[in-house]
Amino acid sequence: MSLTVSVFGTGYLGATHAAGMAELGHTVIGVDVDEAKIERLARGEVPFYEPGLPELLRKHVDSGRLRFTTDASEAAQADVHFIGVGTPQKKGENAADMRFVDAVIDTLAPLLTRPAVIFGKSTVPVGTAARLAAKVRELAPVGDQAELAWNPEFLREGFAVEDTLRPDRLVLGVEKGREGRAEAVAREVYAEILGRGTPFLVTDLATAELVKVSANAFLATKISFINAIAEICEVTGADVAQLADAIGYDERIGRKFLGAGLGFGGGCLPKDIRAFQARAGELGVGDALSFLREVDEINLRRREHVVNLVETCAGGQMKGAKVAVLGAAFKPNSDDVRDSPALDAAGRLHLAGADVKVYDPQARHNAEAVWPTIPFKDSMAEALEGADVVLVATEWQEFREADPAAVAGLVASPKIIDGRNCLPAEKWIEAGWEYHGLGRFA
C-alpha cells in the first residue's frame, strides 16, 4: 500500500531515505531548514556525491512522487514521518548535540492533528526515544494517536542507495507497554523489503537505540584493533596485511574491517563512540565503555604516525617539503570530509610547514571549505608534479589503479606512503619506488 511519508533532514541519510521511500512506492516530502539544499533537491540535484542517488532522485522528482520543502506544515498531513537530522558531537564535549532532533519534534508534534507515526532514524543516545515519545504525546493535538518509534539506519556512504533499498536487516524499537500501530505501519512502509525475507527485529526503544551505537562501536574497535597490531608490526618487521588475511580466514573473526591504515573517520564512527562513552558515564556505567577511549586514541595515533613518516621520508625536514596528498574524503566513493583522517593528515602537514598539494576525485569542494589555505588540485598528475613524498590517504580506485612507472615520471623523488595499504606494493617497488605501508614495509 502506498503511504504519504515525510523525511525531516535531507543530508546523506535523509535525502537517500526520501528517494528510497519513493522508489518503494510511497509519496514523499523531504523537509530541511537549509534553503539552498532544498532548492537543489527540488530541481532533482543531489547536493553531495553518492553513487546512484542522482538517478533515483531525478526519477522520482520527475514522476512527482518526491518533493522537497522548508515548510514543515506541508508535511503535517503525512501518515508517517522519519527523522534523519544530524546528531553531531557537541563542541568541546564528547556528548551528542540533540538540538536538531528536538527541534524537529518541537515543530512537527504540534502540527499533528491526525494519527501519525514518527520513526526516528538519527543515531541518538540511549533514552532519547522514550523522552521524545512522551514529548510527542504531550505536544500533539491528537495526543497518544501520535506515536514515536525508533528505526536506526545502517546505510554506508558510497553504498547508501543499495543499503536503503536492500538493507541486511531492519530494526524497530517500540514503546514497551504502549505498542500501538508503529510495527504495523513499519511493515507497510517496508513491505517490499520485508517481502524478500529481510530480517526484521522488533525491540524496545532502548535496544533499538543501542543496536546502532553498538554496531558502530564494534566496527571502530575492529579497525583500531588491527591498527594497534600494525604498531607492533612496525617495530618487529612483520606484515599486518598478511596477518589480517591469516586471522581473517577464521570465520569467528572475518577479514572485513581489518584493513590497517590511517584509521576511521567520517560523520558517524568517531562521534558515535564518543557520544556512547558520554552516555554510559551519565548512566553511571562509564567503566563499561572505557575501552572506547583507547579505540579512539589508537585511531588518532595513526594520523600522527603518518605525518611522522612523511617527515622521515622528506629527510627529517618538513618545512618546504613537497608533499602530494591523494585523497581528502574519509573514504572512497564519498565527498564527505567530516572528521576525515585524510584531510586531517593534509592539514597537519600543511601546518607543519610542508608544501602540500591535495587531490581528491570528489571531495575538493567540501575539503576547501575546511582548509581554504591548502592548494587543492584538479587532477592526480597536478598534485604529483615535483613531489618529494606522495601520501595515499583515501583508497579511491583511481589511486589504486595508478601506473607506478608512469607516475614516477611526475614526481621529484619516488617515495610513497600507502596510508590505506591499498596499492599493489610489489608493483610499486619494482617500478623503483620507495614504498612504505602502515604496519608493513615499514
Ligand X SMILES: NC(=O)c1ccc[n+]([C@@H]2O[C@H](COP(=O)([O-])OP(=O)(O)OC[C@H]3O[C@@H](n4cnc5c(N)ncnc54)[C@H](O)[C@@H]3O)[C@@H](O)[C@H]2O)c1
- Positions in the binding site for ligand X (CB under 6 A): 8-14, 31-34, 37, 84-87, 100, 103-104, 122-123, 153, 155, 157, 267-268
Distance between the two ends of the chain, CA-based, in angstroms?
58
Query: What gap in Å lies between CA 232 and CA 227, rounded to an integer?
Result: 9
Q: Which three cell numbers stand for residue 84?
A: 534523519
Residue 79 in 3-state DSSP? coil
| 268 in active site | yes
CB-based contact 227:261 (threshold 8 Å)? yes
Smaller CB separation from ligand X, 234 or 296: 296
Residue 57 in 3-state DSSP? helix
Nearest-5° angle of CA 103, CA 104, CA 109?
Answer: 110
Smaller CB separation from ligand X, 66 or 354: 66
Nearest Cα neighbor of 421 from 203, 252, 159, 229 is: 229
Contacts of 406 (CB under 8 A, 6+ apart): none
Smaller CB separation from ligand X, 20 or 84: 84
Smaller CB separation from ligand X, 32 or 234: 32
- Smallest gap from Cβ 121 to ligand X, in A, equals 6
- Smallest gap from Cβ 366 to ligand X, in A, equals 11
Q: Is the dihedral of CA 87, 337, 156, 71 positive or negative?
A: positive
Q: Which three cell numbers stand for residue 434?
A: 620507495
- Smallest gap from Cβ 34 to ligand X, in A, equals 4
**Position of minimal CB gap to ligand X:** 11
Contacts of 11 (CB under 8 A, 6+ apart): 32, 37, 48, 84, 85, 86
- Smallest gap from Cβ 156 to ligand X, in A, equals 6
Smaller CB separation from ligand X, 122 or 413: 122
- Smallest gap from Cβ 138 to ligand X, in A, equals 19
Nearest Cα neighbor of 348 from 320, 308, 291, 387 is: 308
- Catalytic (active-site) positions: 268
